[in-house]
Structure 1
Amino acid sequence: MARRRGRLCASVKLCASRKHIWRELKRSAGQGPRFRRQHPCGPYILDFYCSQAQLCIEIDGYAHGTDDRPERDERRDAYLADLGICVERLAAQTVLQDPHAVAHGVIVLAAELMAAKA
């Protein structure tokens, strides 16, 4: 079920901010932590996930600050924390301004988490 859902989500087009950071994360895949995009985890689909670091990267656009979205994000983050997954939320606007620098920061964070687990 999760595998099928993952395939369905992988076919969905990424928004601009996710597309830019994914391009940067893929470029560095051979040199450091590996990330997956649209990774299924229980009832959720994670924007980006590094299994070695147990790190989830979520790109939050404007909608994440409206209606009941903040509460839903909190429930999701708590669920992931119970699984031992660290969640890092990044503003889409920040990613669009400098995707290379944001991706570098994500890679450094993943490497630090991996080192701490070793």
Structure 2
Amino acid sequence: MPHHEVAKALRGNAKSLRRDMTEAERKLWRALRGHRLEGISFRRQMPIAGYIVDFAAPAHRLVVELDGSQHGEARGARVDRLRDETLSGLGWKVLRFWNPDVLKELDGVCRKILEACEEEKAHD
């Protein structure tokens, strides 16, 4: 997948987010980094279409977002819906998990990520 121009401010913000990951993001990243999940390549805090997604598997057009409690509020849910629609319109599938799910059920989260990658591969 070719690289696209990313605004300097957005790139800087992504770098900052990589440095200051939440506990759930760190835990999931340990499971995903270095092709650890069935050889799939993931990037963290990747800029796409003016957004910074938590994790992305570009070869599978998959975005994985981890949500804290603010995402359950009306405004957060509205912003997430718009973001998901934009990413979906660009051909990305978006999976969302609550932080506690990652912290308590990491195997189940990884299984769902693998299933999404398999579904994408089946559609090729």
TM-score above 0.5: yes
Q: Does 1:57 align with 2:64?
A: yes
The one-character-per-residue Cα deviations of 1:44-88 (angstroms, maximum 9, x if unpaired) are: 000001111100000011110114111111100110111011001
Alignment of 1:1-118 (within 5 A): 2=6, 4=8, 5-12=10-17, 13-26=20-33, 28-29=35-36, 31-117=38-124
CA distance in 1 between partners of 2:82 and 2:68 (Å): 18
Q: Given residue 16 of structure 2, which amino acid in structure 1 is its aligned partner?
A: S
Q: Given residue 30 of structure 2, which amino acid in structure 1 is its aligned partner?
A: R
Query: TM-score scaled to structure 1, two decimals?
Result: 0.86
| Greater relative contact order (CA < 8 Å, ≥ 6 in sequence) | 1
Aligned residues between the structures: 117
Gaps of at least 5 residues in structure 1 are none
Gaps of at least 5 residues in structure 2 are none
Please report the RMSD computed on the Cα atoms of aligned residues, expressed in angstroms: 2.0
Q: Given residue 50 of structure 1, which amino acid in structure 2 is its aligned partner?
A: A
CA distance in 1 between partners of 2:83 and 2:120 (Å): 20
